[in-house]
Amino acid sequence: MNFNARASLPRLGAGIGLRRQHFAEIIDRRPPVRWFEVIPENFIGRGGFIAESLRRIAENYTLIAHGVALSIGSTDPLDLEHVRRIRQFCDDVHSPWFSDHLCFTMVDHVNLNDLIPLPFTEEAAHHVAERVRVVQDILERPFALENVTYYVAPSRSQMTEAEFITQILERADCGLLLDVSNVVLNAANQGYDAEAFLDAIPLERVIQLHLAGFEKNGDVLLDTHARPVSDETWRLYRKVIERVGPSSALVEWDAEIPSLDRLLQEAEMAQKLMDDVAALRAS
Ligand SMILES: [Fe+2]
């Protein structure tokens, strides 16, 4: 993906994840949501209520596809059939870009149903970048990798997480889905400085942001997506917006999912911070 393709992507403001619990309410009420993030794997091959709800919601809202099963870092062969299905899904819902996680989920053709971090090595960076290029060729739209959380520093690492991410993005020439809460969490758990991390990655490649809540267990922060966005994450998000400008920021809440109105409150907070920064820049 060249720089112009990224630069021309819409900056959608704050959105929320589309979850089944809210389908009927969204269709009935048509709440003022700027956009929804949709997980293709929850919809591909589904009919009935799920397919019909997606069709009706897609008529009225911008949908952005975000995958969970690409397993871009796996040593198993890329599942090209899966990538083609994702391409079709993105075409169907008019998703201007697609993202998935910088991790692996498949080992020996078994799906571990978890986002497992890669060792920060030259070999892994090269492997992922090659596969991203294949994925981008099939998708024919910009693709972004998301930074994931990890609790134990991957063994055999030869570089920092920031260096690893930078190498892959530049080798593959792809975008970054910057999960701001994952930076806060990894910085706390691994003992590095979150702002120094931002300094070390190519922020000009950011095409989307994630914001999610986490929980404390003793000294460790856990990436549960079951809580409101934390104050530390809001603070770092503001710094990111100051540097990248208005963006497309998604509030993730995947467990103990609250009411639609509560989710919309979180999205409004994300939008307000974005608007405040834009107003300050303009003054
Ligand atoms: Fe995320």
Reading the chain (283 residues) residue by residue, the pLDDT tens digits are 555 667 789 999 999 999 999 999 999 999 999 999 999 999 999 999 999 999 999 999 999 999 998 889 888 889 999 999 999 999 999 999 999 999 777 666 767 667 778 789 999 999 999 999 999 999 999 999 999 988 777 777 789 999 999 999 999 999 999 999 999 999 999 999 999 999 999 999 999 999 988 778 787 778 777 788 999 999 999 999 999 999 999 999 877 888 999 999 999 999 999 999 999 988 8
Distance from the alpha carbon of residue 40 to the mean position of ligand 1, in angstroms: 15
Q: What is the pLDDT of residue 216?
A: 81
How far does the centroid of ligand 1 lie from the alpha carbon of residue 58, in Å?
22
Q: Is residue 105 part of a domain?
A: yes
CA of 283 to the centre of ligand 1 (A): 32
For ligand 1, the distance from its centroid to the CA atom of residue 248, given in whole angstroms, is 13
Specify if 16 maps to a domain. yes
Host H or E run for residue 279: helix 260-282
Angstrom distance (rounded) from CA 153 to CA 230: 23
The beta-strand segments (E) located in the chain are: 13-17, 36-38, 63-66, 98-101, 104-107, 110-116, 143-146, 175-179, 206-212, 215-217, 220-222, 248-252
pLDDT of residue 220: 79
The pTM score is 0.93
Distance from the alpha carbon of residue 62 to the mean position of ligand 1, in angstroms:
19
User: Cα of 263 to ligand 1 centre, how many Å?
Assistant: 15
- Residue 212 CA to ligand 1 center (angstroms) comes to 7
Residue 96 lies in a domain: yes
What pLDDT was estimated at residue 128? 95
CA of 146 to the centre of ligand 1 (A): 7
Range of the domain at 177: 9-282
pLDDT score, position 131: 95
**Model pLDDT, residue 226:** 73
Compute the distance from residue 218 Cα to the ligand 1 centre, in Å.
23
4 falls within a domain: no
Residue 1 lies in a domain: no
Count of domains in the chain? Answer: 1
Q: Which CATH number belongs to the domain containing residue 184 in this structure? A: 3.20.20.150
